[in-house]
Amino acid sequence: MIYYKTDAEIEKMRESAHLVSKTLGLVGSMLKPGITGKEVDLAAEEFIRDHKAIPGFKGYGKFPATLCVSPNEQVVHGIPSEEPFKEGDIVSVDCGVILNNFYGDCAFTFVIGEISEEVMQLLKVTHESLYMCIEVAQVGKRIGDIGHAVQSHADKYKYGVVRELVGHGIGKNLHEDPQVPNYGRRGRGTQLKDGLVIAVEPMINMGTRKIKHHEDGWTVTTADKKPSAHYEHTIAVRKSGTEILTTHDYVVESIKANPNLKNLDFTIKK
Ligand code: MG
Ligand code: MG
C-alpha cells in the first residue's frame, strides 16, 4: 500500500533529507587515501546523533553500520571495513537517517585521487540518469517512466543496469511501496500522485548488469568485478512540480575543499 504524505509530513521529511545530505558532506570532507570506511562510519554516526537523529541503516535488517560504503566493484550495501582507501578508488556512500520519525536516504559516489576517463564517464552517466529520471517523475507519469529514463540513458553506453536492487517509497519506513526499478517501460506501472515520496537510485555497472551477493549477507558486487556507480535522492512528487528533498550541495562543497578528492568533471545539478 502506498502511503501518500501530507504537506506537514513532507516538511518533516525535508528535515531528514537535509540531515542525511549534510552527513554525506561530512563524509566528503574526510575521504582520503589511508582512511578506512570504519573511521568515516563512526564519524557519520556521531554527527547524526549530535543532530538528535538516529542512523537509519544501523540495525535495519541487522545491518551493522551507519553508512553503506561500497568501493569500486561493490554495487551497494558494503559494510564499512578496516581496509584503507587508496588512490584511484571510487566509493559509493549511502546514508539513511531517522529524524522526527521520518527517514531520509541519499547516496553519492566519490572519487579518491585520479581515475580513468572510462570510469569517470560511468559516474557522469549514472549521475545524469538520476536527474533524468527525476525530471520525468511528475504527477501523472508512471513508475515505468522513471525506470525507462534511467535504462535508456545507460543503454546508450552499453552499461549494465542492476535489476535486483531498486529505488523505493520512503517515509516512516525506509522501504515503502512502490518499488522503483531502474528499468521499465514507458506508461507502465503505478501512476505518480501528489504526496508520493520516493528514493530514486540508479545503480549502473560498467560491464554486466549481473551481480553477486556475498557471504557477509550484505555486500553486493558486480559479477565481472568491473566498477559500479550509485547516486540517490529522496524526492517528493507534488502537483506544483517534483521536489528533490535531499541535496548533493554539501557533497560538492566538501569535494571542492578536499584536495584528496577529484572534482567530478560534470556539473552537479540541483
Ligand atoms: Mg540509500
Ligand atoms: Mg534507498
Q: For 171-193, what is each residue's pLDDT tens digit?
A: 999 999 999 999 999 999 999 99
Q: Quick one: average pLDDT of 66-91?
A: 97
- Tell me, in angstroms, the distance from the centre of ligand 2 to residue 172's CA: 13
Q: Rounded to the nearest whole angstrom, what is the distance from the C-alpha of residue 185 to the centroid of ligand 1?
A: 24
Gap between the Cα atoms of 20 and 97, Å rounded: 6
Q: According to the model, what pLDDT value does residue 266 have?
A: 62
195 Cα: distance to centroid of ligand 1 (angstroms): 20
Residue 199 C-alpha to ligand 2 middle, in angstroms?
A: 5
Mean pLDDT (the chain, rounded): 96
Q: How many A from CA of 191 to the centre of ligand 1?
A: 23
* pLDDT for 270: 43
pLDDT at position 129 = 97
Residue 154's pLDDT is 98
- Domains, the chain: 7-267 (3.90.230.10)
Q: Residue 263: its pLDDT value, please?
A: 81
Q: How far is the CA of 219 from the centre of ligand 2 (A)?
A: 15
Ligand 1 being an ion, which residues bring their Cβ within 5 A of it? 94, 105, 107, 232
pLDDT at 99: 98
**Average pLDDT in the 252-267 region?**
86
Tens-place pLDDT, residues 200-239: 999 999 999 999 999 999 999 999 999 999 999 999 999 9
> Each residue of 112-126: pLDDT tens digit?
999 999 999 999 999
Which three cell numbers, joined as nine digits, stand for 158? 552499453
Phi-psi region of 250 (alpha: psi -120 to 50; beta: other; left: phi over 0): alpha
Digit-coded pLDDT (tens) for 32-47 = 999 999 999 999 999 9
pLDDT at 264: 77
- For the segment 76-93, the average pLDDT, to the nearest whole number, is 98
